[in-house]
Amino acid sequence: IPVQLVGCVRTVKTTTWFEEHLTEDNQEYMRKTMAEEYRRQTAEKLNPLKDEPWQRHEWTEGSRRVGLVAVKLGMAPIWTKTGEKHAVTMLQVQDCHVIKCLPREEYDGHTAALVVGGKNVSPFHRSEHYMEMFRNAGVPPKQKITTFKVSDNAIIKPGTPLYAAHFRPGQYVDVTAKSIGKGFQGVMKRWGFKGQPASHGQTKTHRRPGASGPGGDPAKVFKGKKMPGRMGNIYVTAFGLKIWRVNTKYNVLYVNGSVPGHRNCVLKIRDTVLPTRGSTLLSPPFPTYFTEDEGDLAEDLYDDDLFIHTEPSLTLT
């Protein structure tokens, strides 16, 4: 048993992991062959033109395009041309592929959907049922899969890679991720209650919720009453985050402000739902950014207001 799994209890008894009935040589061979196969698969998918790509439509009013799955790297400061400092989160798009296309009738009758997967992960600790859809798409298995509701003209063939250049600087974006889990927390941390004073005769009551409702008339506690419980580890969305910079070499997006989730967690990024931050000014790549179409973009794409460090110091005249 490897060192990392010494204290763990096995809960899934239906499937067997690949190592259980193999000798050590065979295990090593399996690992090597799987890794080579996935590298070959990703290399194939880089040029989707080779195998009958789907029809690409033009952007129309009211069409929605796909989003991306990215990994949160960390935060850094950024300065504008007027000298103001803003904090920025760096999100890296690692191996993002479209896995399945669900046309309108299959999904819900109103909109089509695309299933997109993020970060690559080893196939040996996932079940066969999970591996099935990746096998159909010809793509290595991913850590996170999400569905994006998409208009009919933005459907993409399963297997196409998605890059960070799909978003441009100046666009606004919503980021959804699982917030950091805090465990079972009291009412002051979870809901921001004020608690009770620390002194002046308080007996054993400093962080308690206090009263739980009106009194004799309802004679009950309403459903949804804020009480202590498990906090965090739920999906939270941050809306209207501006993109300051896109690095096309490493596929990194610099997104304004903070984003839910811990470092190295997988997030879902999509175009804003907010009506005041729609991207009518810019012409984003629709349905997505293809390397053969738009050719060579500069390594770094900056927003107009951003101060780039290769420029001379600001004199603010």
Partner 1 sequence: MAACSRRLDKFIVSLRLLRNLQLQNERFLSTSVCRWAPGNDSEPPKFIPPSKPVIIDKTQAVATLRKFLSPEFIPPRQRTNPLKFSMERKDMIRRRKILNVPEFYPGSILAVSMADPNATGKINRFVGICIQRGGKGLGATFVLRNIINQQGVEICYELYNPRIQKIEVLKLEKRLDDNLMYLRDALPEYSTVDPDMKPVPFPPTGEVPLNELKVKMRPKPWSKRWERPKFNIQGIHFDLCLVPKQMEHAQKWAQPWQEYDMLKEYDTSKLEQQILSEVQQEMSK
CB-nearer residue toward partner 1: 82 or 203: 82
- Quick check: 151 and 63 in contact, CB under 8 A? yes
Nearest 5 degrees, angle CA 98-CA 103-CA 104?
135
CB-nearer residue toward partner 1: 74 or 229: 74
Residues 41, 43: Cα–Cα separation, whole Å:
5
CB-nearer residue toward partner 1: 211 or 316: 316
CB-nearer residue toward partner 1: 35 or 314: 314
- Quick check: 235 and 219 in contact, CB under 8 A? no
Residues 99, 137: Cα–Cα separation, whole Å:
6
CB-nearer residue toward partner 1: 227 or 308: 308
Shortest reach from residue 241's CB to partner 1, in Å: 18
Shortest reach from residue 60's CB to partner 1, in Å: 37
Classify 16 in phi/psi space as left (phi over 0), alpha (psi -120 to 50) or beta: beta
- Quick check: 125 and 251 in contact, CB under 8 A? no
**Identity (one letter) of the amino acid at 162?**
L
Shortest reach from residue 92's CB to partner 1, in Å: 7
Shortest reach from residue 169's CB to partner 1, in Å: 16
Residues 236, 189: Cα–Cα separation, whole Å:
17
CB-nearer residue toward partner 1: 204 or 309: 309
**Identity (one letter) of the amino acid at 65?**
R
Residues 130, 110: Cα–Cα separation, whole Å:
27
- Quick check: 67 and 268 in contact, CB under 8 A? yes
Shortest reach from residue 303's CB to partner 1, in Å: 15
CB-nearer residue toward partner 1: 52 or 311: 311
Shortest reach from residue 120's CB to partner 1, in Å: 15
**Identity (one letter) of the amino acid at 47?**
N
Q: What is the DSSP string of 115-143?
A: EEE-SB--GGGS-HHHHHHHHHHT---BS
Shortest reach from residue 232's CB to partner 1, in Å: 18
By the criterion CB under 8 A, which residues form the site for partner 1? Answer: 71, 73-74, 76-77, 79, 82-83, 85, 90, 92, 247, 250, 252, 263-264, 307, 309-317
